[in-house]
């Protein structure tokens, strides 16, 4: 029997990488072990998404609310972030350009410098853009967007009655990127958790029960894409 052809991948996929801590707890390991495994999973899935034809992959790595976690865990996450960035500088993902969205000012000068270096590794033959959301929150993003628009109005650069959806979109971290078609959340949680609130107005969501992010495999991405392919996206129409 001939192998069934896989459905075409959507242009932009978002993933809420959830379940690292629970993955570690199930194995009686420190939560940091789950984050380490989650970072390895990200590398694997990013390369597979590129090969499936995904043009943009946005992953939720660290939210504006995650600073409230125990200091030991936050410090561990920052150490892991440094290592992840250094590894990317040594072995950049082939044909993937990486950018980081979120408020970077909260990070140490060392981490900000590493982020800049990774973002400057531009592959002219890149097949995919990987957006890593760090210190990111959808509400915070909108507040900052509104402040910038208000400043433009105050300075006479923009008329208040010229403000429309495009004006707001252009002030977001994702200004140059199309809105996500599909957002995936493993771990059995059924909420958006402040991820891409404006951009996901018409995104399709696939929630995956019984699956924690460190265990997420290419076949799970295939399953989510297949479910997405069966959806009827009407964007408010009939």
* Catalytically annotated residue among 66, 103, 140, 215: 66
Distance separating the N- and C-terminal Cα atoms of the chain: 38
| Residues paired with 134 in a beta bridge | 62
**How far apart, in Å, are the Cα atoms of 4 and each of 1, 15, 51, 133, 223?**
9, 26, 17, 34, 13
Catalytic residue among 18, 97, 135, 194: 18
> Does 66 qualify as catalytic in the annotation?
yes
Query: Rounded CA gap, 12 and 101, in Å?
Result: 15
Catalytically active residues, by annotation: 18, 66
């Amino acid at each position: 029997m001939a192998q069934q052809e896989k459905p075409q991948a959507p242009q932009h996929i978002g993933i809420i990488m959830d379940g690292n801590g629970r993955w570690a707890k199930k194995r009686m390991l420190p939560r940091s072990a789950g984050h380490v495994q989650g970072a390895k999973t990200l590398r694997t899935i990013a390369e597979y998404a590129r090969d499936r034809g995904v043009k943009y992959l946005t992953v939720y790595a660290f939210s504006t609310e995650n600073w409230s976690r125990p200091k030991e865990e936050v410090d561990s996450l920052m150490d892991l972030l440094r290592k992840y960035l250094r590894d990317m500088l040594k072995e950049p993902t082939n044909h993937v350009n990486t950018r980081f969205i979120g408020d970077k000012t909260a990070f140490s000068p060392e981490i900000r410098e590493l982020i800049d270096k990774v973002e400057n590794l531009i592959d002219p033959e890149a097949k995919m853009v990987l957006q890593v959301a760090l210190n990111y929150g959808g509400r915070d993003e909108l507040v900052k967007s509104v402040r910038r628009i208000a400043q433009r109005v105050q300075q006479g650069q923009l008329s208040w009655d010229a403000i429309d959806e495009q004006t707001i979109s252009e002030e977001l971290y994702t200004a140059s990127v199309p809105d996500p078609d599909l957002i995936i959340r493993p771990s059995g949680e059924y909420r958006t958790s402040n991820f891409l609130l404006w951009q996901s107005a018409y995104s399709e969501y696939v929630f995956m029960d019984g699956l924690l992010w460190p265990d997420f495999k290419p076949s799970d991405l295939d399953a989510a894409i297949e479910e997405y392919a069966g959806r009827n996206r009407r964007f408010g129409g009939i």
